[in-house]
Amino acid sequence: MEFDSFIKDNFGISAEVWEYAIKIEREIEHNFKEIDRITEYNQFKVLAAMQKNKLSDTHFAATTGYGYNDLGRDILEQVYADVFHAEAGLVRPQLISGTHALTVALAGNLRPGDEILSPVGIPYDTLQGVIGIRKERGSLSEFGITYKQVDLLPDGGFDFDNIRKAINKNTKLVTIQRSKGYEWRDSLSVEKIGTLISFIKSINKNIICMVDNCYGEFVETIEPTDVGADLIVGSLIKNPGGGLAPIGGYIVGKEEFVENAAVRLTSPGLGKEVGATLGITPALFQGLFNAPQVVGGSVKGAVFLSRLFEGLGFKVLPSSMEKRADIVQSIQLKTAENVIAFCQGIQKGAPVDSYVKPEPWDMPGYDCPVIMAAGAFVQGSSIELSADAPVKPPYNVFFQGGLSWHHAKIGIVIGLQTMVDKGLLKI
Ligand SMILES: *Cc1c(COP(=O)(O)O)cnc(C)c1O
């Protein structure tokens, strides 16, 4: 894009910052070609599933009350199952978040005396409370479900010896988190997840392999269900909702395990038969249809951010050259001032609440102040442009989302400009 007085006057972007951004954009042209190829393939996948299930506007009708005979809901679940090459799906607005969907998948498939194993280190923050790693009212540990963990090796690889040792006769379910979450570790490629699942199944083929797929959907052309996962779980206000889903979660996989989750979400004897959709089904379909494109834009933003800060001498994860496994980009910003300025800049680039200045605050459940930049149409939606950071050394910031590549770029450039304006760095 040409730089002109409109951009300068409205957004305060300087010619130096803009030129630097353009130079970076040129350096990653070939990454963008690869991302476009993945987007196109995933667009085929979503289209095929909708056509195969004969999606029609009669499926967009709202149901209320019990929600019996909600044809749109049933088709939506089959479309999700087909997109992920799975037997069955549970895709509901009553799954209120990713954490809730994971809770339902776990609670539905585990019984007292069963053990969960995480062979990829500590799970996402909210899951720690669900499992009972962190003491929390109503956690699975209160129901006699135990937990074991094997950390990743220092080089990011799987600790196969200790995983083998950790598996015992009570091990019922293995949980594998695809995205790094707020850890400074590599996110897991689908291929790597496949290796891990094969290893676990070679020890005991009856162990349920569940993948927390949050932030991973449509980043690659295959999904964990293509490499042996029995269940995958995610949030509709992240990748697969395409920015249009106003709420929801999904669970897809083997029919038996999805059914176990369904009777936990609703009631034994009712399962998937009930659950009104209240008119949001069209948004869930349209969001899924847009998701490959939206995810592609987010991944471009992540690569751009990575290259931009690599070029300024910061540590980034992953590097701009690495293959992506999720939409999250981490940068080590070295100082609290940098973190705050970057996040405030991201907020300035939002379509909603752009005039709000985020500040670090003591959020419950965290051991340090946290700053969050989010100006989203859907509250808390992190497929929309967003950045979060625990404000403590080494000052890592986690960036994700952007409903289009262009918006991701604009937000990132404003983030950088804010740091430059505060005299924190020079281009
Ligand atoms: C976001 C996320 C979750 C939880 O999802 P919420 O919708 O925020 O409850 C779980 N695991 C991972 C890896 C996530 O990124």
Please report the pLDDT score of residue 4 as a whole number.
85
Q: Which atom of ligand 1 is nearest to the CA of 102?
A: 10
β-pair type (231-235, 208-212): parallel
317 and 283: one domain? no
Question: Which of 241, 261, 288 is the last residue before a domain boundary?
Answer: 288
Name the residue with tokens 């490959």. Answer: 292
Q: How far is the CA of 99 from the centre of ligand 1 (A)?
A: 6
Where the chain has pLDDT below 70, the residues are 1, 365
Distance 282 CA to ligand 1 centre (A): 24
Q: Which of 304, 334, 336 is nearest to 320 (CA)?
A: 304
Q: 79 with 124, same domain?
A: yes
pLDDT value for 365: 65
pTM over 0.85: yes
Nearest of 378, 401, 187, 223 to residue 297 by alpha carbon: 401
- For residue 176, the CA-to-ligand 1 centroid distance in Å is 13
Q: Give which of 182, 207, 106 is closest to 397, Cα–Cα.
A: 182
Same domain, 16 and 110: no
Tell me whether residue 47 is in a domain.
no
Query: Is 310 found in the same domain as 233?
Result: no
308 and 389 in a single domain? The answer is yes
Structural domain total, the chain: 2
Residue 169 sits in a domain whose CATH number is: 3.40.640.10
Cα atoms in the 13 Å half-sphere on the side-chain side of 4? 3
| Nearest partner of 347 among 371, 325, 366, judged by Cα | 371
Question: Which of 288, 307, 328 is a domain's end point?
Answer: 288
Domain that holds residue 194: 54-288
Is 420 strand, coil or helix? helix
* Residue where a domain terminates, one of 259, 288, 317: 288
Q: How far is the CA of 424 from the centre of ligand 1 (A)?
A: 32
d(CA 105, CA 54): 28
Q: Is 220 helix (H, G, I), strand (E, B) or coil?
A: coil
Domain membership flag for residue 427: no
Shared domain for 89 and 238, answered yes or no, is yes
- Using CA atoms, how far apart are residues 311 and 80, in angstroms rounded to an integer? 40
Residue of the nearest CA to atom 5 in ligand 1? 98
Say if 49 falls within a structural domain: no
- Residue 375's CATH number: 3.90.1150.60
Say which residues have a Cβ less than 8 Å from residue 346's Cβ, sequence separation at least 6. Answer: 373, 385, 386, 387, 399, 411, 412, 414, 415
Report the pLDDT value the prediction gives residue 184, as an integer from 0 to 100: 87
Q: Supply the pLDDT for residue 1.
A: 59
Query: Is 201 domain-assigned?
Result: yes
Q: Which of 128, 185, 214 to mutate to test the pocket of ligand 1 (most atoms within 8 A of CB)?
A: 214
Give CA–CA dist 389/339, Å, rounded. 7
Residues having CB within 6 Å of any atom of ligand 1: 97-99, 124, 126, 177, 179, 181, 212, 214-215, 235
Runs of H (alpha helix) within 245-335: 255-265, 281-310
**By alpha-carbon position, which residue is closest to atom 2 of ligand 1?**
214
Return the CA Rg of the chain.
22
In a domain, 26, yes or no: yes
Place of tokens 């960036």: 399
